[in-house]
Amino acid sequence: MINFVLAQAAAGGGGILGQVFLFGSIILIMYFFMIRPQQKKQKETKKFIEEIKKGDDVITIGGIHGKVSSVEGDAVLLDIDRGVKIKVEKSAISLDFTKKSSPTK
């Protein structure tokens, strides 16, 4: 009888340990497939925006293609055609589309 009670207690404890392992695994998987890539993308975007300089070809989030004419703090002056310039925020420049349109080296 005592062996039977001990066996049931051991089986119940293993179930809890298994659940803790399962939840820990799910959290770890979510971190590596969702959170970590998002943090990496945010770092790349921040670095790209900080390194914008005169002469760079960029695309805005709205789809406007232009060449950086000057950088003024948080704003960028884009030359979109001969004599046509617009002022946009640095955050309005898209890293993804700029990467796609630039030729690979």
What's the angle, vertex CA 29, arms to CA 27 and CA 33, rounded to 5? 120
Asked if 39 and 57 sit in the same domain, the reply is no
pLDDT digit string (tens) for 40-58?
999 998 999 999 999 899 9
pLDDT digit string (tens) for 48-90?
999 999 989 999 999 999 999 999 989 999 999 988 999 999 9
Alpha-carbon distance 105 to 97, whole Å?
A: 17
pLDDT digit string (tens) for 8-43?
445 545 689 889 999 999 999 999 999 999 999 999
The total of structural domains in the chain comes to: 2
Domain boundary among 51, 78, 93: 51
Backbone angles phi, psi at 26, to 5 degrees: -65, -45
Domain residue limits at 35: 1-51
Asked if 87 and 59 sit in the same domain, the reply is yes
Alpha-carbon distance 30 to 74, whole Å?
A: 34
User: Which pLDDT does position 40 carry in this prediction?
Assistant: 94
Asked if 57 and 47 sit in the same domain, the reply is no
Asked if 32 and 14 sit in the same domain, the reply is yes
CATH assignment of the domain containing 57: 2.30.30
